[in-house]
A and B are shown apart, each in its own frame.
Chain A
Amino acid sequence: MPMAAAATIEAIGRGFRTRAGRQVERLRFIGAMIRSAMHYPVTTRPLALRVILNQIRFTAVQALPLLTTIAFVIGVTVIVQAHAQAARFGFSEALGKILTTVVVRELGPLLTAIIVIGRSGSAIAAELATDGVLGETEAMESMGVDPHQYLVVPRVVGAAISVTLLAVFFDAVTLTSGALFTWMLGQVSIVEYVASLRLALVPLDLWLTLAKGSIFGIGIATLCSYEGLLGGRLPTDIPQCVTRGVVSSMLFVFMVSSIFSLILYT
């Protein structure tokens, strides 16, 4: 029995050490990325701009149909439900406040981030892992080209801009679709709806959406790039890199979201 207990403790310790080692590696990667960004060669601006614009096109523009659909459905579900419950329990005057809190501050950035992780985070991890398997990353290093500068920094900038813009767009579509459906169902008039929103929405809501959007974008692109770049050398490593990138990005997004909530509401 003591032997079994010792083995269990040893296994726990080993697991903890491995995980701690991974976190240290991540921090090292982030440090190297920041340094690369600070030493970005001026001569690369046209090429870097092209990568950033491509990233925005893929992450933001091409995601618009999916994002609009999801935002529309969420708007219908959340806002129609909220209105129905508000009318039933008699707290219609607090409706605007509830909607801004739930949709604008929380759901908008969070769901946008989840969509971006699924579409673009996984693509970033897969692309960089494939670059590694094809020897492109190593070839860059051998030429004295910093892979962080060429591959990571433009993607992080592009993702940060994209998620921020998409989060604002998501909020707008959700609130609009909610207004449309509450009006169609005849629960609340458009004038009342807009009035309650205008009372509830404050500049802080917009700043929060922008801050969360940019932090989520930076986090998703960084974590997925990390998993992709340091992924492995075999084609069979690519799916694992993608999975790790998606999972770590999800964890990051939910943790940051809860930290924001703790700071704002406690």
Chain B
Amino acid sequence: MGFAAVLTTRDAVHPESGISNPESREAAVRLLGAVPPPPAFDWPGPLDLSIPSGLTTVIWTLPSLAMPLIRLCVGLRSPVHGRVWVLGQEAGLMSRFEGMTFRRRLGVAMQPGGLISNVTVRTNLMVPLLYGGLADMEQSLVLVEEVLGAIGIARWADRRPADVPPEVRQAAILARALVRRPELVLLEAPFRALRTKRGEELLKLCRERAGTVMIVETENEPWLFERADTLVTLDERGARLEGHEVGTS
């Protein structure tokens, strides 16, 4: 993977917050000497990483690191060493039910997408609302229609995931992460299978609907790196803050 690629580091002021240095902000996600449970090939050892709140952070990493990283952050795995805080809480130490309740504050889209295959796209978006106890049937239908319209996949809503094109499936995965208007969105390779323009639209929507966006990307996506407020590269040698620039979308 081309970590030698030149990435611009620009000190700039965020248009909304006016904060120039992302590290000075409160961290939405913080890893301190964190090591995930095996298998975690290429993990660089105890890892310190801070994801500032209110900004869009892109972590450009190896495919072998993306999976354990995002699962540590979501609290689906507990670190075998070190600590991980998400929105100020250690999700990895919570009980099953506490963790479940906590994750309702997050919007998550991981690889593979994990859309429920035997229900429609619409029902897929309703499940987190209904099972999270966040809305009743009527309310959830309104919320789902709204996000389906915003993302532009309303005409596919009554089809099952296997019956829609890959880019619609990917957009539906994002829609499901955003439907609850989460405090923090954690996305793993979210714009895969999408054209750049479509990716830009969806990134803009992620920023509008969530306070903080953390994207773990394994492909070289220059357009995405340009639009990130903070760009971190993570490989077997460790994490490096490559640049922090203003979102331009």
Interface residues of A (CB under 8 A from B): 32, 35, 39, 41-44, 46-47, 131, 134-146, 149-150
Contacts of A144 in B (CB 8 A): 100-104, 106, 128, 131-132
**B5 adjacent to chain A (CB < 8 Å):** no
Interface 1/0s, chain B 127-138, versus A by CB < 8 A? 111111111110
Given contacts A43-B136, A135-B114, contact A150 B127 (CB under 8 A): yes
Partner of B123, one of A42, A47, A131, A141: A47
Inter-chain contact A141/B76, CB cutoff 8 Å: yes
Whether, in the assembled complex, B13 has its beta carbon less than 8 Å from a beta carbon of chain A, the answer is: no
Contact check, A142 vs B103: say whether CB atoms are below 8 A apart.
yes
Q: Which residue of A lies closest to B114 (CB)?
A: A139
Q: Which of A32, A43, A131, A143 contacts B133 (CB 8 A)?
A: A43
Q: Inside 8 A of A138's CB, which chain B residues have their CB?
A: 76, 110, 114
Quote the shortest CB–CB distance from A34 to chain B (angstroms): 13
Closest B residue to A28 by CB, please name it. Answer: B96
CB pair B131–A149 under 8 Å, yes or no, is: yes
Most buried by A among B103, B110, B114, B134: B114
Collect the chain B residues with CB atoms within 8 Å of residue A39's CB: 97
Question: Of A35, A139, A142, A145, which contacts B115 at CB under 8 A?
Answer: A139
Task: Add 12 more A-B contacts to A135-B111, A142-B108, A142-B110 (CB < 8 A).
Answer: A47-B131, A134-B117, A139-B115, A140-B114, A140-B116, A140-B131, A141-B76, A143-B103, A143-B127, A143-B177, A144-B103, A145-B100
Report chain A residues within 8 Å CB of B130: 41, 43-44, 47
- In the assembled complex, how far is the CB of residue A159 from the closest CB belonging to chain B, in whole angstroms? 17
Nearest chain B CB to A219's CB is how many angstroms away? 23
* Contact partners of B134 in chain A: CB under 8 A: 43
Residue with the greatest number of chain A CB neighbours at <10 A, chosen from B100, B111, B135: B100
Instruction: Say yes or no: A47-B74 contact (C-beta < 8 A), given A138-B114, A143-B132.
Output: no
**Complexed CA–CA distance, A143 and B85 (Å):** 17
- Asked if B126 CB lies within 8 Å of chain A CBs, one says yes
B112 touches A135 (CB 8 A): yes
Q: Is the CB of A47 within 8 A of B127?
A: yes
B113 within 8 Å of A (CB atoms): yes
* 3 nearest CB pairs, A to B: A139-B114, A144-B104, A144-B103
A136 with B115, Cβ < 8 A, contacts A142-B110, A143-B108, A145-B127 known: yes
Q: Which B residues lie within 8 Å of A47 (CB)?
A: 123, 126-127, 130-131
B interface residues (Cβ-Cβ under 8 A, vs A): 74, 76, 96-97, 100-104, 106, 108, 110-117, 123, 126-137, 140, 176-177
CB <8 Å contact, B117 and A43: no
Interface pair A134/B112, CB less than 8 Å apart: yes
In the complex, what residues of A have CB within 8 A of residue B104's CB?
A: 143-144
In the complex formed, the residue of B with least CB distance to A141 is B76
Residue of A35, A46, A143 contacting most chain B CB atoms (<10 Å): A143
19 A-B contact pairs sorted by A residue (CB < 8 Å)? A32-B96, A41-B132, A41-B133, A43-B134, A43-B137, A47-B126, A136-B116, A136-B117, A138-B110, A139-B108, A141-B76, A141-B103, A142-B106, A143-B128, A143-B132, A144-B103, A144-B131, A145-B128, A146-B97
Taking CB atoms, residues of chain A closer than 8 Å to B136 are 43
Bound together, the chains give a CA A131 to CA B110 distance in angstroms of 15
A146 contacts across to B, CB distance below 8 A: 97, 100, 131
Most buried by A among B76, B113, B116, B140: B116
Q: Which residues of B contact A143 (CB under 8 A)?
A: 103-104, 106, 108, 127-128, 132, 176-177
Q: Which A residues are in CB contact (< 8 Å) with B129?
A: 43
Contact of B110 among A44, A139, A145 (CB under 8 A): A139
A145 close to B114 (CB less than 8 A): no
- Assess whether B131 is in contact with A41, with CB atoms less than 8 Å apart: yes
CA A146 – CA B98 in complex, angstroms? 11
Contact of B97 among A35, A41, A42, A136 (CB under 8 A): A35
Residues of A within 8 A of B111 (CB): 135
Q: In the complex, what's the smallest C-beta–C-beta distance from B29 to chain A, in angstroms?
A: 14
A32 to B137, CA, bound (A): 26
Query: Nearest-CB distance from A202 to chain B (Å)?
Result: 44
Nearest residue (CB) in A for B118 is A127
B74 touches A142 (CB 8 A): yes
**In the complex, what residues of B have CB within 8 A of residue A142's CB?**
74, 76, 103, 106, 108, 110, 114
Other-chain residue from B103, B112, B137 in contact with A46 (beta carbon distance below 8 A): B137
List, in ascending order, chain B residues with CB within 8 A of A41's CB.
Answer: 130-133
Q: Once bound together, how far apart are the Cα atoms of A140 and B114, in whole Å?
A: 8
Q: How far is the CB of B145 from chain A (nearest CB, A)?
A: 17
Bound state CA distance, A136 and B111, in angstroms?
Answer: 10
Q: Tell me how far the C-beta of B202 lies from the nearest C-beta in chain A, rounded to whole angstroms.
A: 18
